[in-house]
C-alpha cells in the first residue's frame, strides 16, 4: 500500500469533463497503466482516489492535486508518470507523484487567470476601468449558497489583480481564496455584472495557475 500525491493539468478539450467523470476516468487510467488503486473497505468498496477543489466544467487548470492509494508498496515515480501519461485522454497530463506531507485542506489561495471576451468593444479601452474596479475597497456580489441567496463582499478574498490586453481580449490574473470562503472565479465576472455591467465580458474563460497555503507558499 502506498499513498501518493500527484499534480496534473486539465486543459484543452478535457476542461469539459465533469469532476465525477474525471474520477471515473482516472480510475480506469490507473488500471490500464498497471497501477491498481486500493479499494475502501465496507459494503460498497470504491477506489481510494480524491481530487482537491473540484473544478467547474469549462475551467482549465495546470495545478490540480490528486491523492491516491496504490495497492503496491513501492513505485518508480518517474516511470509511473510516463506510464500514466501514455494512456490519458487529450488535455490531461500528470507530473511524477510524491509522498504527501501536508493535507489538501491546507490549500488556501488560488492564482487564477481569466480571459475575457468582449463583443464589439476595444479591449485596450477597458483595461484602466477594470483595474480601477477590481481595486475598489468593496466588491459586493450576491450569490446562491446552501442557505439561499446571500451578499458577500469578495474584496478581502481577491488580491494581486493584474489586468492586461491579450490580443482582442482582456487577460486578468488574480489570487482568490478557495477555503473559507470559496470564491469561484466566476464571481469575478458576476461582480462586474452586478455592479458595473458595462465592464462585464460577454464570455470569460478561467484557468487555474497555482495553489498556495495560508502563508502563500506553493502547496505541495
Catalog residues that contact another protein under the rule CB under 8 A. Answer: 12-14, 16-18, 21-22, 24-25, 27-32, 36, 39, 57-58, 87-91, 117, 203, 205
Task: Compute the least distance from the CB of residue 215 to another protein, in Å.
Answer: 34
Cβ distance to another protein smaller for residue 26 or 157: 26
Would you say how long the chain is, in residues?
220
Task: Compute the least distance from the CB of residue 24 to another protein, in Å.
Answer: 7
* Among 50, 77, 55, 49, residue whose Cα is nearest residue 11: 55
Give burial (CB, 10 Å; 0-12/13-18/19+) of 203.
exposed
Task: Compute the least distance from the CB of residue 54 to another protein, in Å.
Answer: 15
Task: Compute the least distance from the CB of residue 166 to another protein, in Å.
Answer: 13
Q: Which residues pair with 145 in a beta bridge?
A: 148
Q: State the Cα angle at 168 between 167 and 174, rounded to 5°.
A: 75
Cβ distance to another protein smaller for residue 16 or 98: 16
Task: Compute the least distance from the CB of residue 58 to another protein, in Å.
Answer: 4
Cβ distance to another protein smaller for residue 75 or 88: 88
Cβ distance to another protein smaller for residue 15 or 191: 15
b or e along 162-186 (b: 16 or more beta carbons within 10 Å of the residue's beta carbon)?
Answer: ebeeeeebbbbebbbbbbeeebbbe
* Among 104, 70, 103, 84, residue whose Cα is nearest residue 33: 84
Task: Tell how many helices (H) and how many strands (E) occur in the chain.
Answer: 4, 10
Cβ distance to another protein smaller for residue 117 or 196: 117
Amino acid at each position: 500500500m502506498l499513498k501518493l500525491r500527484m499534480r496534473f493539468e486539465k486543459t484543452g478539450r478535457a476542461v469539459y469533463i465533469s469532476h465525477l467523470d474525471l474520477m471515473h476516468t482516472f480510475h480506469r487510467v490507473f488500471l490500464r497503466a498497471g497501477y491498481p488503486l486500493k479499494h475502501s473497505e465496507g459494503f460498497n468498496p470504491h477506489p481510494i482516489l480524491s481530487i482537491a477543489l473540484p473544478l467547474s466544467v469549462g475551467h482549465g487548470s495546470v495545478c490540480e492535486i490528486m491523492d491516491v492509494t496504490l495497492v503496491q508498496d513501492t513505485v518508480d515515480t518517474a516511470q509511473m508518470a510516463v506510464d500514466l501519461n501514455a494512456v490519458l485522454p487529450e488535455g490531461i497530463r500528470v507530473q511524477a507523484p510524491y509522498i504527501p506531507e501536508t493535507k489538501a485542506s491546507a490549500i488556501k489561495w488560488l492564482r487564477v487567470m481569466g480571459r475575457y471576451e468582449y463583443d464589439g468593444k476595444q479591449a485596450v479601452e477597458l483595461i484602466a476601468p477594470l483595474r480601477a474596479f477590481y481595486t475598489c475597497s468593496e466588491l459586493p456580489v450576491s450569490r446562491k449558497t446552501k442557505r439561499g441567496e446571500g451578499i458577500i463582499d469578495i474584496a478581502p478574498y481577491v488580491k494581486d489583480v493584474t489586468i492586461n490586453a491579450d490580443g482582442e481580449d482582456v487577460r486578468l490574473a488574480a489570487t482568490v481564496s478557495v477555503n473559507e470562503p470559496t470564491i469561484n472565479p466566476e464571481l469575478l465576472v458576476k461582480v462586474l455584472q452586478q455592479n458595473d455591467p458595462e465592464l462585464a465580458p460577454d464570455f470569460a474563460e478561467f484557468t487555474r495557475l497555482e495553489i498556495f497555503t495560508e502563508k502563500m507558499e506553493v502547496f505541495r
